[in-house]
């Protein structure tokens, strides 16, 4: 083998060796890159899965909350309707009760309103306030009660209250001939002041005071 051939063979051998090194390095780089990409892909997959799980849990929580709110609103609406019916039935029962009991109720309402006015007047006098004198305490009933009871309500209330408020004040109690636009109960008017003792007003006040207890009885 000539010297030239030896040189050529050595060059080729070196080139092959270098090519193998380059190939091995490239393969190692490829394997490393593949591993890194696989790791990155796994990390991204886990992040996506975590986000999807979190979003799913959040959606479930919001759905449960919305369902609970809808259920609560439905129950509140149903309770409101039942309470409306309950107090409407109570008003009907009061209006339809027998003559004597309803008359006693009207007398009691009028007596309490008159004594409350006298009590407030005495309190104002005790504080040194000026108190107006009233010529009359006018009682208003609805048309039906005006026909049924007439002046008997006023007469009974006078007898009940005259010892507490004085005969002079009790004697100023008058029944108006003008029917009141109320569903039951009465209105006491003195000067520019009215004491509204109608059934609607009283039951509305009772409902505010007793609604919690009535709800407990009806729904618990």
- 63: containing domain: 1-96
Name every residue whose Cβ is closer than 8 Å to that of residue 141 and which is 6 or more positions away in sequence. Answer: 106, 149, 153, 175, 176, 179, 180, 186
173-204 tens-digit pLDDT: 999 999 999 988 999 998 888 899 998 888 88
Residues 1 and 48 in one domain: yes
Please choose, from the candidates 202, 106, 101, the residue with its C-alpha nearest in 3D space to the C-alpha of residue 150: 106
Structure pTM?
0.59
Residues 76 and 110 in one domain: no
d(CA 173, CA 23): 119
- Which residues, given as ranges, of the chain have pLDDT below 70? 1-16, 18-23, 25-26, 29-30, 33-34, 37-38, 41, 48-49, 52, 63, 67, 71, 74-80, 91, 95-99, 129, 131, 214-215, 217-220
Total residue length of the chain: 220
Specify which residues 189 forms β-bridges with.
138, 194
Read off the CATH number of the domain in which 146 is found: 3.30.2320.30
């Amino acid at each position: 083998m000539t010297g030239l051939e030896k040189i050529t063979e050595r060059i080729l051998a070196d080139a092959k060796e270098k090519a193998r090194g380059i190939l091995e390095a490239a393969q190692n780089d490829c394997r490393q890159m593949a591993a890194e990409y696989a790791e990155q892909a796994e990390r991204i997959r886990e992040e996506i899965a975590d986000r999807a799980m979190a979003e799913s849990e959040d959606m479930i929580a919001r759905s449960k909350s919305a369902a609970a709110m809808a259920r609560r609103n439905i129950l509140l609406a149903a309770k409101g309707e039942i309470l409306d019916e309950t107090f409407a039935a109570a008003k009907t029962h009061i209006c339809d009760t027998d003559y004597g009991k309803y008359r006693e109720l009207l007398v009691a309402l009028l007596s309490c309103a008159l004594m409350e006015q006298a009590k407030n007047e005495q309190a104002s006098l005790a504080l040194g306030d000026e108190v107006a004198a009233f010529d009359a305490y006018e009682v208003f009933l609805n048309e039906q009660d005006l026909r049924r009871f007439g002046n008997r309500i006023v007469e009974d209330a006078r007898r009940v209250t005259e010892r507490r408020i004085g005969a002079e004040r009790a004697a100023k109690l008058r029944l108006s001939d003008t029917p009141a636009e109320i569903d039951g109960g009465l209105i006491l008017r003195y000067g520019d002041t009215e004491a509204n003792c109608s059934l609607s007003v009283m039951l509305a006040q009772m409902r505010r005071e007793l609604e919690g207890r009535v709800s407990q009885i009806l729904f618990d």
